[in-house]
Amino acid sequence: MHRYVDWFEYIVYVTLIVFLAVLLLFTLLELGWLLFVSLFVNSIYRLEIHELFNFFGYFLLILIGLELLETIKVYLSRREFHVETIILVAIIAIARKVILVGPETPGELIGIALIIIALCGGYYLVHRAGLPLPLPPDDHPPLPDDEQDEP
C-alpha cells in the first residue's frame, strides 16, 4: 500500500510541475505581450507609473512561481522541503503585495509590516541554524613531525 501512495504522490508532484511550468510560460508570454503593447502601441516608449507597478507585480509573480517550482523539484529529488525556500516565497509574495498595494487602512499596513518582520526574522533564524558551527580553537600546540608518525 505504501508503494501505491508513493507512486500517487509522485504523479501529483509531476503534474504540479507540468501545470506550474505551463502557467509560468503563459505568464511570461503575457508579461512580454503587455510590455510590447504598453511600449509600442499605447504610448510610444513611455510607461505610466501604474503600468510599471503592474510589470513589477508580474515579475515578482514569475519569481514566486520559479521558487515554487524549485521547491517541488527539490522535494522530488531529495524528499525534503527546504523551509528557507518556502519562507523566501512568502517574503516575495508579501513584497509583491506591498508593491501593488492600493489605498490601505493603517491597520492593514501595520499587519503587513508585522508579517514582513516575522518572515524576515524566521528566515534569519532558519538560515542561521543551517550554517556550520566554527570549530573550537586548539588549546595545545601542534605536535612535531616525529611524534605524529608514531602509532
- CB–CB of 34/54 below 8 Å? yes
Nearest one of 74, 68, 70 to 89, comparing CA atoms:
68
pLDDT of residue 18: 94
Domain boundaries, the chain: 2-131
Residues near 94 by beta carbon (within 8 Å), at least 6 away in sequence: 112, 115, 116, 119
> Residue 118: what pLDDT?
93
**Across the 151 residues of the chain, what is the mean pLDDT of every consecutive 10-residue run?**
88 92 94 84 71 82 87 82 82 82 77 90 86 53 55 52
Contact between 34 and 58 (Cβ < 8 Å): yes
Task: Please state whether the predicted TM-score (pTM) of the whole model is above 0.95.
Answer: no
